[in-house]
A and B are shown apart, each in its own frame.
Chain A
């Protein structure tokens, strides 16, 4: 078995699972009697636990942010470009924790886990969880790992929302928050896209009101459509033109409904690879968490008041071609923070990669994260 990994990779990673026996009160009013969080760590926690970074994942992400689970893995974790020795989140310097959120389907308690009340899978009975619930569950993991105060909490998209929520809910437990390609709440357009995705899944005849596993089936068509729609919103018009243009698969149109254009082939490939690895009930839950996120809601829509409790320093990053969470949405966060005279820096990265840009290597983007983290570490 080959054991050579790239020099700047964290290498072979074995996830851990933490079991929490104390009930977790959820925003919806329900209680999770117990729950598990599956997580990975990279780097070494220093003796005073002052070098810990929490990674928060986005809609379809999980705990596997960096490194490889086996030498046969074709791809490393989802943010391997960002995390590793010498990378912007440098594992020679920092102790990095990444967990799968509750409601997820990668090993933390979610719809595919056993409901202790019924002895069956939770399925559609799993309560709708919010960003606040994730933050509160992640704080239990921090306690377990002996981390009182995160040097930084870093997240892109829905992950950035968790980083922001942490600074509001646990101001004394976060020194720095890196909020990347996020928004302070979804727009009607964002929610509309999510609703189409949910309808695709829920109207699939194989959905069975969420009990598809009982019927030994999967709402594959619905999940495929949801993922295809998602991918369109993650890319920009420009990058689609660059990547696919109107290129034809076979050099000619076929006058039928097979795959004519390369972009169709791309979407079908993305959809196929998603169905095997992602649970439809989790997808529904994650889109609801996005829709419900709105920290200003308790303050008459005033985000400045909503973040008044925060004491962290912030780095907010947007991408020029991201139309799902456009730069203006990040600037709303920035304004609320500087209204409170908090330390905040903001960069709008020029990129044609759309919302997906937050996952991709880019010298300007990575240089800024590295500079910020070096400064954060030197002040810790």
Chain B
């Protein structure tokens, strides 16, 4: 699957060529909207959205090494620590708040989801699925914590301290009155295959969720 080709200009396609996961997020974001990208890295998603969808917004990034690349990519980046919340952003300032492959590294992920829905109308989260068969196999058969392409660290040095499965995330959403609007999974090559569609909790390595505060019209 390559949704990227459906609605992007050839010149812009290159921006996300190496990041089909971001391309999928971008597909979920409507034109002329405001986006807050939490843990924005080098700012590729916002750069792409600005170029192709007339999106405006800000990236938040803690890591020194990403700030200058964000600026070179022409996006607004605000250096800050997501574990300290989003207090400096007012309620309902954004159409979308994106948290891409960052949830699992937060000390306090649950309040952050609430914060995302306070400052934005919709949240988009992606995270590595800890229920993937390779992880279950490693733990179940070998009895050791897995080292996989999407979770490449050892247990003692991993930044990924809040790992969850699709089921865990769905349960957290239910508890916090968060309505999941859309879900998709990909393998580590960021391909949405037949297997990831049929058995997402086993074959999806990366999970993408779009959610809002209230149950609403479209899925």
Q: Which residues of A contact B (CB under 8 A)?
A: 315, 331, 334-335, 338-339, 341, 343-348, 350, 364, 367-368, 370-372, 374-375, 379
Contact = CB atoms under 8 A, between A and B. Distances in A.
A348 B88 contact: no
Nearest to B36: A338
Contacts of A364: 64, 67-68
13 contacts: A315-B71, A331-B80, A335-B88, A344-B58, A345-B70, A345-B71, A345-B77, A347-B77, A348-B79, A364-B68, A367-B68, A371-B69, A374-B72
Contacts of A339: 90, 93
Interface in B60-115: 64, 67-72, 74-80, 88-90, 93
A350 B81 CA distance: 14
A371 B77 contact: no
A320 to B, nearest CB: 11
Given A338-B78, A341-B56, A368 B88 contact: no
Contact of A371 (B68, B76, B78): B68
B34 interface: yes
Contacts of B34: 341
A315 to B, nearest CB: 8
A82 to B, nearest CB: 16
Q: Which of A343, A346, A370 is most buried by chain B, counting CB atoms within 10 A of its CB?
A: A346
A372 B71 contact: yes
A335 to B, nearest CB: 5
Interface of B: 34, 56, 58, 64, 67-72, 74-80, 88-90, 93
Nearest to A350: B64
A346 B78 contact: yes
B85 to A, nearest CB: 13
Given A347-B67, A372-B71, 14 more contacts: A331-B88, A345-B67, A345-B70, A345-B76, A345-B77, A345-B78, A346-B77, A346-B79, A346-B80, A347-B79, A367-B68, A368-B67, A371-B69, A371-B71
A343 B56 CA distance: 9
B78 A375 contact: no
Q: Which of B58, B71, B74, B89 is most buried by chain A, counting CB atoms within 10 A of its CB?
A: B71
A348 B93 CA distance: 23
B115 to A, nearest CB: 15
Classify the interface of chain B: helix, strand, loop or mixed.
mixed
8 closest residue pairs by CB, A with B:
A371-B71, A371-B68, A346-B78, A367-B68, A335-B88, A347-B79, A371-B72, A372-B71
A374 B90 CA distance: 31
Contacts of A331: 80, 88
A338 B74 CA distance: 16
Nearest to B70: A345
A334 B76 CA distance: 11
A368 B71 contact: yes
A368 B72 CA distance: 9
A344 B59 CA distance: 10
Contacts of B90: 339
B191 to A, nearest CB: 34
A331 B89 CA distance: 11
A345 B72 CA distance: 12
Q: Which of B74, B75, B78, B90 is most buried by chain A, counting CB atoms within 10 A of its CB?
A: B78
Nearest to A331: B88
A93 to B, nearest CB: 15
Contacts of B67: 345, 347, 364, 368
Contacts of B70: 345
A209 to B, nearest CB: 46
A372 B89 CA distance: 23
Contacts of A338: 58, 76, 78, 88-89, 93
Nearest to B75: A345
Contacts of B88: 331, 334-335, 338
A251 B75 CA distance: 54
Given A338-B89, A341-B34, A341-B56, A375 B79 contact: no
B64 A344 contact: no
A122 B11 CA distance: 62
A371 B56 CA distance: 20
A367 B74 CA distance: 15
Contacts of A344: 58, 76, 78
A375 B74 contact: yes
A348 B77 CA distance: 11
Q: Which of A331, A334, A345 is most buried by chain B, counting CB atoms within 10 A of its CB?
A: A345
A15 B90 CA distance: 47
A375 B73 CA distance: 8
A43 B201 CA distance: 61
Nearest to A370: B68
A315 B79 CA distance: 11
A368 B61 CA distance: 14
A140 B88 CA distance: 37
Nearest to A374: B72
Nearest to A313: B76
A341 B90 CA distance: 11
A348 B89 CA distance: 18
A362 B108 CA distance: 33
Contacts of A367: 68
A129 B129 CA distance: 61
A375 B71 contact: yes
Nearest to B87: A335
Nearest to B56: A341
B201 to A, nearest CB: 38
